[in-house]
Structure 1
Amino acid sequence: MDVSEIIIPGDTPGTEWRLPVLRFTGRDPKAPKTYIQAALHAGELPGTALLHFLCERLRQAESEGKIAGDITIVPQANPIGAAQSHFGELQGRFDLGSRTNFNRDFPLISIADRAELIENIDDYPAIDRLKRQLLHMALGADLVLDLHCDDESLQYAYIDEAFWPEAADLAAALDMKAVLLSDGESSAFEEAVGFAWKYQIPGERRSRLPGKLSVTVELRGKRDVDPVLAKKDADGLWHFLGARGIVSGAMATAAAFSGPAVPLDNVEIIRAPEGGAVLFHRSIGERIAAGDLLATIVTRPGQPGGSIDLHSPQDGLILTRTSDRLVRRRGDLMKIACDNPSKASRKAGTLEN
């Protein structure tokens, strides 16, 4: 295993960020190349724990000559966000300087322009240098996994329709409970990777990308940083790499993916109509029917009519739930994967900021 660091100078004198990169060299130049990163939202650590245990297996495999395709791993992809604390609370989702989500505004380019990502890179602020370095590394691979987590959540993934159903093997290996299918046209990291591949010829969009994969994996919730879960997920990813011919000696034992795979339009986001204390009646993993009571918002405690009941707009599977119990007006409470499109109006692209 080769360990190096990308140094990202800060935007003020005397500061810099260090981005560790772990590389395993494959023995077969024709085998697929893999790029995996975790903690792009710096406080989302289940993926970092997974990669810690996966690297143990990869080091052993490397010593035995069992790695066929090059593997690049960035276990802590956002040192800038990891250093942002406000009154003792980590602020790893948004850059405090630009107020931009660390997983938005990645450059949308053709793969033919990959080299331009790091040309004159010192002309950019630190957050953009970080994004350009990450995207440049990812576009050197065939399989790209961006490991995230949600708040309170099942295991699920965002996958561009261009990679489905071929990516069902990853969903099965990681025991995902659902897959959310997107059109791949946002500026999030995994969609920027897919964009570069789809527009290999500028202006001409490819609808299928055989042999490629770019996916955002949601590894349960923020508090699910656990050695047992991390080792289980590392085993699943190891078997996926084996099934794709990237490592040898991994037995593919995962059952076929059987969860729902629904378009983003079929995701109901339950939001708080007013601020207050939220009392949940249903939890993640439960299948609910239209009209079921999901939550009560206590808006004026102790007063007549001081609460609001929220009901399910349609049948579905509860994927996520907020861990906050004091919620703001229009705050997200739940995501529900459904068979039919939501009637709620929302912007195209990603579900949340």
Structure 2
Amino acid sequence: MEISEIVISGDTPGIAWRLPIFRFKGSDDAAPKVYIQAALHANELPGTALLHFLCERLRRAQGEGAIRGDITIVPQANPIGTAQSHFGELQGRFDLGSRTNFNRDFPLIALGDRQTLIDDLDRYPATERLKRQLLHMALGADLVLDLHCDDESLQYAYIDEAFWPEASDLAAALDMEAVFLADGESSAFEEAVGYAWKYEAAEKATRLPGRLSVTVELRGTRDVYPDMARKDADGLWRFLAGRGIVGDDTVSVEPFRGQATPLDNIEMIRAPEPGAVLFHRTIGDTVAAGDLLATIITAPGTEGGTIDLHAPQAGLIATRTSQRFARRRDNLMKIACAGPAKAARKPGTLEA
């Protein structure tokens, strides 16, 4: 295993961040190359724990000569965000300086322009330099996994339709209960990778066989436990073995049996008024149209001081907020449904 680091100098004197990179050299130049990162949202740590245990296994595999394809791992992809706490609470999703989401505004370029990402880096602020260097590394691979988590959620993933159903092996290997099929048209990291591949040729590609760029949501922010992380690392190992990146003849991956849902079919349950939230249903529940989901206490102690929220259509509750006070229009749940969402929503990512 080769360990290196990228040093990102700060935008004020005396500050720099170090980004460790772990590389495992494969023995077969024809095998797929994979890039895996975690904690781009710095407070989302299940992926960091997963990669810690995966690296243990990869070190053993390297000693046994079982690594066939090049593997690059970045266990904590956002040292800038990791350094940003507010009143003792790690933030990590939004840069406190620029107020931008660390997983938005990645450059959208064609693959042939990859080198331009790191040309003249000093003219960019630190967060932009971080994003450009992460994207540059990822575009040197065939398979790209960006490990995140939700608030409270099932194991699921955002997968561009250009990679589906080929990517069902990843969903199966990680025991995902749901997949959200996206159109790949945002500036999030995984979609910026897909964009570069789609526009590699003069005509936009709609299918990308042999490639994969995906955001994996490893349950919720509090789901950071050794047994879970080891199980997820084993799942990722099965995926790597199935794709021929590591050698393991004992591995088999069952077909994906979860639910694959287009983003247009995700019902975002939002709070119409502020108040204390009482949930009646939880993640993993299958609900019917009209089922009671939550009650919001909008005027405590007064008659009629509550609002009930009902399921707009049948579906699977994939995520739920851990907060028990909602501001007006806060997101409370995501429900994966068979039909298009009832509420109008702008295209692209579900949340900022």
Determine if the alignment matches structure 1 residue 17 to structure 2 residue 17.
Answer: yes
The answer to whether the 8 A contact 2:242-2:252 is kept is no
Task: State the secondary structure of the residue aligned to 1:220.
Answer: strand
Describe the superposition over 1:245-284 as per-residue Cα deviations: whole angstroms up to 9, x where unpaired: 0000253333211111011000000000011100000000
The answer to whether the 8 A contact 1:287-1:316 is kept is yes
**Count of aligned pairs between the two proteins:** 352
Task: State the secondary structure of the residue aligned to 1:238.
Answer: helix
Determine if the alignment matches structure 1 residue 327 to structure 2 residue 326.
Answer: yes
The answer to whether the 8 A contact 1:243-1:250 is kept is no
Partner AA of 1:12 in structure 2: T
1:251-262 equivalences in 2 (<5 Å): 251-262=250-261
- What is the match of residue 229 of structure 2? 230
- What is the match of residue 296 of structure 1? 295
The answer to whether the 8 A contact 2:191-2:213 is kept is yes
**CA shift at 1:91, angstroms?**
1.0
Describe the superposition over 1:56-85 as per-residue Cα deviations: whole angstroms up to 9, x where unpaired: 000000111110000000000000000101
Q: TM-score, normalised by structure 1?
A: 0.99
1: CA distance between counterparts of 2:60 and 2:249? 12
2: CA distance between counterparts of 1:205 and 1:250? 37
Task: State the secondary structure of the residue aligned to 1:146.
Answer: strand
The answer to whether the 8 A contact 1:8-1:18 is kept is yes
Partner AA of 2:6 in structure 1: I
1:1-353 equivalences in 2 (<5 Å): 1-202=1-202, 204-249=203-248, 251-353=250-352
Task: State the secondary structure of the residue aligned to 1:156.
Answer: strand
Worse overlay, 126-135 or 245-254: 245-254
Describe the superposition over 1:134-178 as per-residue Cα deviations: whole angstroms up to 9, x where unpaired: 000000000000000000000000000000000000000000000
2: CA distance between counterparts of 1:104 and 1:251? 39
Partner AA of 1:328 in structure 2: R
Partner AA of 1:293 in structure 2: L
2: CA distance between counterparts of 1:288 and 1:89? 34
Task: State the secondary structure of the residue aligned to 1:340.
Answer: coil
Task: State the secondary structure of the residue aligned to 1:343.
Answer: coil
Gaps of 5+ in 2: none
2: CA distance between counterparts of 1:251 and 1:22? 26
Gaps of 5+ in 1: none
RMSD: 0.7
**CA shift at 1:343, angstroms?**
2.0
Task: State the secondary structure of the residue aligned to 1:6.
Answer: strand
Moved over 4 A (4+): none
2: CA distance between counterparts of 1:347 and 1:15? 39
Task: State the secondary structure of the residue aligned to 1:232.
Answer: helix
The answer to whether the 8 A contact 2:9-2:126 is kept is yes
Q: Are the structure 2 counterparts of residues 250 and 19 from structure 1 closer, same or farther at C-alpha, using a change threshold of 3 Å?
A: farther
Percent same amino acid among aligned pairs?
Answer: 75
1: CA distance between counterparts of 2:259 and 2:72? 30
Task: State the secondary structure of the residue aligned to 1:72.
Answer: strand
